Amino acid sequence: MAFRAELPSMRTVHSLFTVWGLDHEGAFGGEDEYGEPGPIQGLVLAEDLYDETRMTMAPLVVQRLLWATIGRVARAVGYSGIDEQYVDSVFWERHVEQL
């Protein structure tokens, strides 16, 4: 996924921590592998970041249509764009070896 952000945009930072946290827990890659968010995760992230960051994955009108349809279903089954648990340092202290 590629994006352009004009910092400071803390939502963008929080979305990156969410992606890294989900990937760390194996949501995107196989065992002992790192992966990338799929299109549905990207769609939900784009919606959460819309106020501050513009995604170029599709024209805005198409994104809005997808947010109103697929995005609602995705959230209903558990997808989230920004998950605050991954922003909290406690998560990283518990899951990543601290030097």
Digit-coded pLDDT (tens) for 40-56: 998 898 888 887 777 77
- E strand or H helix at 40, and its extent? helix 39-49
Q: Is the per-residue pLDDT at 3 higher than 60?
A: no
- Tokens matching residue 39: 């299109």
User: Can you tell me the distance from the alpha carbon of 11 to that of 44, in angstroms, rounded to the nearest whole number?
Assistant: 13
User: Are 13 and 82 spatial neighbours (Cβ–Cβ below 8 Å)?
Assistant: no
Digit-coded pLDDT (tens) for 66-77: 999 999 999 999
Contacts of 12 (CB under 8 A, 6+ apart): 3, 5, 49, 52, 53
Mean pLDDT computed over 73-93? 92
Mean pLDDT computed over 81-89? 91
User: Are 90 and 60 spatial neighbours (Cβ–Cβ below 8 Å)?
Assistant: no
pTM above 0.85, yes or no: no
